[in-house]
């Protein structure tokens, strides 16, 4: 007895459905039967005598002929299928390549903007540091003048302000603020811009660098967070942009 599940006015019978049968062309069916027959014959052949050896040889000839026949039957379909597959891939590529180029262009522009903002931040930081150093020097002069006048309180205040400016100059002041957008992440990296192989040392920090291995050189740069100096190697900071769709 079949179990049935009723949904609305439809009864779904479980366990009785069979996959649809695809009817083969007559020629294909005939080839399939011939292939099966030859396989059965090959399995039943006994090569224990000269006669059996000859029989196996004749059957092998039939196998080779059948292989040729099967290949000739499928070759037009294989060729047309391959041509269709190639055409689909080509159309797919024609659409995907411009999109890959667009993604690369956009990420490069976002990376350039991030690096420009970092450059501006560093300039502002340097300007603040110089201003703080100048103010510190001015307050030290005020302290000396006050002390020369016998104004101990004025000298003490000026020295305190000079110490504050010294702290501002040392700290740098501005924290990095990377541009933000939903689904966009940034990773700092470095790119080698030039290598003079003759100037690169044979080894550095226990690593053999010659013959020059750019991957190893880049590994050293990343490990130092862009602080290392390698003779013969020029590199710059960069940003990798990742975007989630």
Report the SS3 class of residue 59.
helix
Model confidence pLDDT, tens digit, residues 182-221? 778 778 888 888 888 788 787 777 776 777 788 888 888 8
Percent of the chain predicted with pLDDT > 90: 27
- Are 158 and 139 in contact by the 8 Å Cβ rule? The answer is yes
| pLDDT for residue 109 is more than 80 | yes
**How far is it, in rounded angstroms, from Cα 240 to Cα 245?**
16
Lowest mean pLDDT among 64-73, 191-200, 218-227: 191-200
The pLDDT of residue 161: 81
Which of the two residues, 22 and 181, has the higher pLDDT score? 181
Closest CA to 237 of 124, 130, 121: 121
Q: At what angle do helices 50-148 and 26-44 cross, to 10 degrees?
A: 110
What is the pLDDT of the chain when averaged over all its residues?
81
Model confidence pLDDT, tens digit, residues 30-40? 999 999 999 99
| pLDDT for residue 26 is more than 60 | yes
pLDDT band of 245, cuts 50, 70, 90:
low
- Are 223 and 189 in contact by the 8 Å Cβ rule? The answer is no
Radius of gyration (C-alpha) of the chain in whole angstroms: 40
**Phi and psi based region of residue 73 (left: phi greater than 0; alpha: psi -120 to 50; beta: remaining):** alpha
CA dihedral 36, 40, 43, 44 (to 10 degrees): -170
The pLDDT of residue 71: 93
DSSP letter at 126? H
Both tokens of 54, joined, read 């000859």
| pLDDT for residue 140 is more than 70 | yes
| pLDDT for residue 61 is more than 90 | yes
Determine the straight-line distance between the first and last CA of the chain, rounded to whole angstroms.
51
The pLDDT of residue 21: 59
**How far is it, in rounded angstroms, from Cα 171 to Cα 239?**
25
Lowest mean pLDDT among 55-59, 115-119, 128-132, 169-173: 169-173
pLDDT band of 143, cuts 50, 70, 90:
confident
Percent of the chain predicted with pLDDT > 70: 85
- Strands 203-204 vs 4-7: parallel, antiparallel or unpaired: unpaired
The pLDDT of residue 172: 60
């Amino acid at each position: 007895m079949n179990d049935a599940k009723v949904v609305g006015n439809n009864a779904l019978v479980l366990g009785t459905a069979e996959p649809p049968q695809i009817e083969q062309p007559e020629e294909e069916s005939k080839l399939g039967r011939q292939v099966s027959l030859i396989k059965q014959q090959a399995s039943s052949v006994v090569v224990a005598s000269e006669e059996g050896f000859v029989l196996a040889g004749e059957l092998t000839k039939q196998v080779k002929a059948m292989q040729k026949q099967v290949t000739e039957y499928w070759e037009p379909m294989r060729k047309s299928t391959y041509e269709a597959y190639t055409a689909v891939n080509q159309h797919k590529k024609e659409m995907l390549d411009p999109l890959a180029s667009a993604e690369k262009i956009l990420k490069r522009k976002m990376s350039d903007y991030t690096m420009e903002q970092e450059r501006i931040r560093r300039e502002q930081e340097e300007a603040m540091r110089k201003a703080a150093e100048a103010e510190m020097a001015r307050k030290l002069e005020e302290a000396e003048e006050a002390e020369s006048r016998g104004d101990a309180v004025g000298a003490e205040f000026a020295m305190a302000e000079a110490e504050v400016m010294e702290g501002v100059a040392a700290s740098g002041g501005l924290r990095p603020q990377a541009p933000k957008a939903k689904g966009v992440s940034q990773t700092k990296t470095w790119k080698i811009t030039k290598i003079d192989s003759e100037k690169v040392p044979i080894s550095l920090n226990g690593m053999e660098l010659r013959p020059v291995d750019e991957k190893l050189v880049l590994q050293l740069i990343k490990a130092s967070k862009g602080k290392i100096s390698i003779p013969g190697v020029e590199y710059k900071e960069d940003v990798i942009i990742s975007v989630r769709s």
